[in-house]
Amino acid sequence: MPNVERLEKIKSLAMKGEYETALACLDGLLADEPRNTDVLRLKGNVIELAAYQENYQPGGGPTPKIQEAEKCYQEILKLDSGNVLAMIDLGDHYRNLGNVDLAGSMYDKAIERLAAGHYCLDFVDEAESAYDGKIDIARTRGKDELTLRELEQAQFALISKHLKPTANRS
């Protein structure tokens, strides 16, 4: 399994705009460990970052790069159907494509897993990300302030519940 330090270095390359180098490193890691969900996730994230830096416009329909990123997230869910981070990434992916129904479905699945006490790395970050996606969709759809407050309260309640020592990392 690639160590966290190596993945952080690859992430740093991508953040500096060195997408091809980062992707080559990730492909090398995947050649050795094709089922590594951390590497697949980072690859999907780097591909999307590169696409957006190349002036891809959200809602503009899928390009080959955008489709490749989606395949990374889908592969993670084939390997680990309960992977909350992949659900959130897919939610963000679909929201950026303008498919708010699919996005909302992915956020709902992530929230369901979180409510059952399952998360990947950081419960609070994952809960905030999933609910932020849902709240953004609600705003886009012109939902009233009461609906937005209810979503924010649900987010707060889920996080507060987790702060009691009952959740399990999965």
For the chain, which domains are there? 1-80 (1.25.40), 82-170 (no CATH)
Instruction: Considering only residues 109 and 148, tell me which one the structure prediction assigns the higher pLDDT.
Output: 109
Q: What is the CA radius of gyration of the chain?
A: 17
pLDDT for 50 equals 92
What is the per-residue pLDDT across 61-101, written as a single tens digit (0 to 9) for each?
Answer: 678 888 999 999 999 999 999 999 999 999 999 998 889 99
Distance (Å, whole) CA 145 – CA 139: 9
Query: Tokens for 162?
Result: 């987790």
Could you tell me what percent of the chain has a pLDDT over 90?
62
What is the per-residue pLDDT across 134-144, written as a single tens digit (0 to 9) for each?
Answer: 999 999 889 88
pTM of the model: 0.85
| 35: pLDDT strictly greater than 80 | yes
Instruction: Considering only residues 130 and 168, tell me which one the structure prediction assigns the higher pLDDT.
Output: 130
CA dihedral 135, 139, 145, 146 (to 10 degrees): -50
- Tell me the average pLDDT of the chain: 89
| Cβ contacts of 98 within 8 Å, gap of 6 or more | 58, 59
Q: pLDDT class for 167, splitting at 50, 70, 90?
A: very low
Task: Find the DSSP H helices in the chain.
Answer: 4-15, 19-32, 37-53, 64-79, 84-97, 100-115, 123-140, 145-162
| 170: pLDDT strictly greater than 80 | no
Mean pLDDT to the nearest integer, 30-38: 95
| 53: pLDDT strictly greater than 90 | no
Distance (Å, whole) CA 87 – CA 73: 8
pLDDT for 52 equals 82
pLDDT for 145 equals 86
What is the per-residue pLDDT across 102-116, written as a single tens digit (0 to 9) for each?
Answer: 999 999 999 999 988
